[in-house]
Amino acid sequence: MPVRLETDTIGMLLTDVSRLLRGAFDRCITASALGVTPGEARALIQVAATEGIKQADIAVRMGIEPMTLSTYLDRLEALGLVERVPDPGDRRAKNVVVTDAADPLLLALRSEVRTLMDQVTSGLDAQGREALRASLKGLRENLHQLDRCVSSDKKSIGE
């Protein structure tokens, strides 16, 4: 008899919720007709949240290839929503910043995302939402710690 795995473990639930949320976000942004693709919207949100971050770091945060991000940023830059500026500490790197022209779009994106998240968290009261947010932040920090440990181990092995 084949081995059966549970589908309601924390890992499986997070994977499913993440996939479903990404799809809902994509549909929401597409339906909103804001003039950007869902990928461009995610990139713009990351730039606004981490003002002045390097392109490579944005790609890591988004879990996408640097070339994919570059395509998004090219379009956002052409729309006048972001600028690439030289990194003062690394002349080869570019940091990305939002322009004032992005404010109306960012406000519209925030409204769309809030509406979506109100639907997603329907049934949770304010205390439940805060508990969920705190738990997810804790999981994120644990995963960052694991990433740092794995990166350190790879460096040690390669040295």
User: What CATH code is carried by the domain that includes residue 106?
Assistant: 1.10.10.10
pLDDT band at 7 (very low <50, low <70, confident <90, very high): confident
**Whether residue 60 is found in the same domain as residue 95:** yes
In a domain, 7, yes or no: no
- In a domain? residue 12: no
Q: Are residues 53 and 82 in the same domain?
A: yes
Instruction: Using pLDDT thresholds of 50, 70 and 90, give the confidence band for residue 5.
Output: confident
Cβ-contact 55, 73 below 8 angstroms = yes
Query: 46 lies in a domain?
Result: yes
Same structural domain for residues 132 and 102? no
Q: Mean pLDDT for the chain?
A: 92
Count up the domains in the chain and report the number: 2
Any domain includes 17:
no
Is the domain of 44 the same as that of 85? yes
110 and 132 within one domain: no
Q: Do 95 and 48 reside in the same domain of the chain?
A: yes
Residue 119 forms part of a structural domain: no
Domain match, 105 and 143 both = no
Question: Could you report the per-residue pLDDT of 17-43, keeping only the tens digit for each?
Answer: 999 999 999 999 999 999 999 999 999
- The stretches of 9-125 forming alpha helices (DSSP H) are 10-32, 38-49, 55-62, 66-78, 103-120
Q: Which residue segment(s) compose the domain that 42 sits in?
A: 36-114
Whether residue 65 contacts residue 148, with contact meaning beta carbons closer than 8 Å, is answered with no
81 residue type, one letter: L
What's the chain's length in residues?
159
